[in-house]
């Protein structure tokens, strides 16, 4: 079955540091890939997505590139801010088998950014 593996946290960084959160996936078909963010006390928000190989999703200074050859979708940001402190989830939807509506999530990575 489909699965998503992301680096375990927590991750603690100083403001303006470079961020990478690794995400790899296993899928039977050709998935779409997503990063969601959950700020404290809030629901999940879509951060960025990519639907085909070599696509780069970007939003709010975050980027992730769909790498089919390494089955990866690592999240990066060049300079994090305190306001980026949240839990980040990597997810996929598999367009094969007619279940493209269903998201399979990684376990989440807690990021804390200190001033």
Partner 1 sequence: GAGVSQSPSNKVTEKGKDVELRCDPISGHTALYWYRQSLGQGLEFLIYFQGNSAPDKSGLPSDRFSAERTGGSVSTLTIQRTQQEDSAVYLCASSYRDNHGYTFGSGTRLTVV
- List residues binding partner 1 (CB under 8 A): 32, 34, 36, 41-46, 49, 89, 93, 99-108
Residue 77 beta carbon to partner 1: minimum distance, rounded to whole angstroms:
20
Residue 114 beta carbon to partner 1: minimum distance, rounded to whole angstroms:
24
CB 7 within 8 A of CB 35: no
In the complex with partner 1, which residue's Cβ is closer, 45 or 83? 45
Calpha distance 71→83 (Å, rounded): 29
Radius of gyration of the chain (CA): 14
What SS3 class is residue 105? strand
Residue 13 beta carbon to partner 1: minimum distance, rounded to whole angstroms:
23
């Amino acid at each position: 079955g489909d699965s998503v593996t992301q680096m375990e946290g927590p991750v603690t960084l100083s403001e303006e540091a470079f961020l990478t959160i690794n995400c790899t996936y296993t899928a039977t078909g050709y998935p779409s890939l997503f990063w969601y963010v959950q700020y404290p006390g809030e629901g999940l928000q879509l951060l960025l997505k990519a639907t085909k190989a070599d696509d780069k999703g970007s939003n709010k200074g975050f980027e992730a590139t769909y790498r089919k050859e390494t089955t990866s979708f690592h999240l990066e940001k060049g300079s994090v801010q305190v306001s980026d402190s949240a839990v980040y989830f990597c997810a996929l939807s598999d367009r094969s088998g007619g279940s493209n509506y269903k998201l399979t999530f990684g376990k989440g990575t807690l990021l804390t950014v200190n001033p």
